[in-house]
Amino acid sequence: MKYTQLGRTGLKVSRLVLGTMNFDAASDEKTSFAIMDRALELGINFFDTADRYGKVQGEGGTEKLIGRWLAQGGGRRDSIVLATKVFGPMGPGANDEGLSAYHIRAGCDASLSRLGVDHVDLYQMHHIDRGLPHFKSPMKYIDGDLRNLSHPTHVKPGADWDEVWQAMEQLVGAGKITYVGSSNFAGWNIAQANERARHRNFLGLVSEQSKYNLFTRTVELEMLPACRAYGVGVIPYSPLGGGLLAGKHRAGAGGRRSGQTLDAATQAKIDEFEKIAAELGEEPANVALAWLLANPVVTGPIIGPRTVDQLEAAVRAVEIELPAEILTRLDEVFPGPGDQAPEAYAW
C-alpha cells in the first residue's frame, strides 16, 4: 500500500479509503469483519463511515458494527484513521439533524458511543446545511424574481460558520475529534468555511468527499480548484460510476449491464474504456481508480467492497501509473468540463 498526507495535515493515510456503507446492509457482520481485517493486512488504514449508514436509517447500524469489530482489540483502533459523518436525520426530533451546534455535539457523542471509542480522527459534515441562512444557494428564482438568499440583512456575515466552528473547536478541545472534513460541499462553501476558520485561528476543513469519476467530472470546475488552493484533500466517492466502470458485467442484448439499460453513447464510452483497460492488461475498475489517483488533489478514492475478493482486487490500482497518452485517451472518451472555471466556458 502507498500512503499520502491528508490534505495539508501531517496525517498519513492510505491511497485507498475503505468505505463501509455496505456493512450492516449488503454485507453481513461476518463478511464485514473479514473485509476490515483483510484491509488492515493489506495496509489500508483509512476507514470511512457515517452515522446514517446501516439497514435502518437513524439507528447507526454500520457504526455499531464497526464498534463491535474494534472491541475485539488486537490494536485495531490504533491501526486505523477513523472517519465518520454528521448531518442527516437520526431521529424524529426537530434538532436531530443539520449542522446546528446542538446537533453537532449530540451527533458526535452518539457516534462515539456506537463506535465504542473516545475520539474519531476525522469528523465530516455530510452535506452543507441549506437550512442555515448563509448556507443557502447564493441566488434563486422565486415567483419569477431573482432573490439573493446568501446575505439576509438580519444575520451578520459568517454567523453560521461561527456556530459550526465553535462546536467543532469544542469537540477538538475535548479530545473527541482531531480533524474536520466536509462532504458534498461546493467550492464556494469550502472557501467560505476555511476563511471563517482562519479568522478564528482554527484549522478548518482538511478534506472533502465528493462524487467524482470518469463519468462525473463537474467538480473540476470549482470544487477541485478550491481544494487545491486551501490544501483540502479530495476523497472521491462512487469512483466506479455506480458500477459502470467496474467491467464486471459485459454488455449483452439490448445494451443491458447490471440490469440497467444504457443508451448507445454511454455504451460506446464503456466499450472504448474497457478496450483501453484490456490494452493495459488491467481490470477496468482498477484503471478507473488509477485515473483518480493520478490527480494530485486526490487523497484517495473510497472503495466499498462487498466481499474480501473485491477488496483484494482493488489494491492493484495503487500500483498502476497511467501513461500520459492513456490519460489523454481517457479524456477523449470521457470529456470533462475542459478546464477549471471560468476558462472552461468563458475563454
Short-list 238, 130, 142, 131, CA closest to 189: 130
What stretches of 84-177 show up as alpha helix (H) in DSSP? 101-115, 159-173
Short-list 60, 125, 65, 49, CA closest to 90: 60
CB atoms within 10 A of CB 181: 25
Each residue of 198-236: pLDDT tens digit? 999 999 999 999 999 999 999 999 999 999 999 999 999
Q: Is the pLDDT of residue 165 over 90?
A: yes
Residue 118 in grid coordinates: 473516545
Q: Is the pLDDT of residue 76 over 90?
A: yes
pTM: 0.91
Phi-psi region of 198 (alpha: psi -120 to 50; beta: other; left: phi over 0): alpha
Q: Is the pLDDT of residue 168 over 80?
A: yes
Model confidence at 253, pLDDT cuts 50, 70, 90, reads very low
- Helix 29-41 vs helix 61-70: crossing angle, to nearest 10: 60
Q: Which of 3, 53, 123, 179 is catalytic?
A: 53
Distance CA 334, CA 347 (A): 21
Residues 242-263, mean pLDDT to the nearest whole number: 67
Residue 157 in grid coordinates: 456575515
Question: Is residue 252 packed enough to be buried (19+ CB in 10 Å), middle (13-18) or exposed (0-12)?
Answer: exposed
Q: What percent of the chain has pLDDT over 70?
A: 88
Q: Is the pLDDT of residue 78 over 60?
A: yes
Residue 255 in grid coordinates: 445494451
Model confidence at 255, pLDDT cuts 50, 70, 90, reads very low
Distance CA 145, CA 141 (A): 5
| 261, 265, 271, 274 alpha-carbon torsion, rounded to 10° | -100
Task: Tell me what pLDDT residue 160 has.
Answer: 86
Each residue of 99-124: pLDDT tens digit? 999 999 999 999 999 999 999 999 99
Residue 276 in grid coordinates: 483501453
Q: Is the pLDDT of residue 241 over 70?
A: yes
Q: Is the pLDDT of residue 252 over 60?
A: no
Q: Is the pLDDT of residue 34 over 70?
A: yes
Of how many residues is the chain composed? 347
Model confidence at 144, pLDDT cuts 50, 70, 90, reads low
Q: Domains in the chain and their CATH numbers? A: 3-244+286-323 (3.20.20.100)
Question: Is residue 267 packed enough to be buried (19+ CB in 10 Å), middle (13-18) or exposed (0-12)?
Answer: middle
Q: Which neighbouring-strand residues pair with 147? A: 140
Q: Which neighbouring-strand residues pair with 261? A: 256
Question: Is residue 209 packed enough to be buried (19+ CB in 10 Å), middle (13-18) or exposed (0-12)?
Answer: buried
Each residue of 123-143: pLDDT tens digit? 999 999 887 765 655 555 555
Distance CA 163, CA 158 (A): 9
Q: Is 53 a catalytic residue?
A: yes
Model confidence at 251, pLDDT cuts 50, 70, 90, reads very low
The answer to whether the CB of 288 falls within 8 A of the CB of 15 is no
Residues 70-77, mean pLDDT to the nearest whole number: 98
Residue 116 in grid coordinates: 465504542
Task: Tell me what pLDDT residue 153 has.
Answer: 47
Short-list 213, 215, 190, 203, CA closest to 290: 213
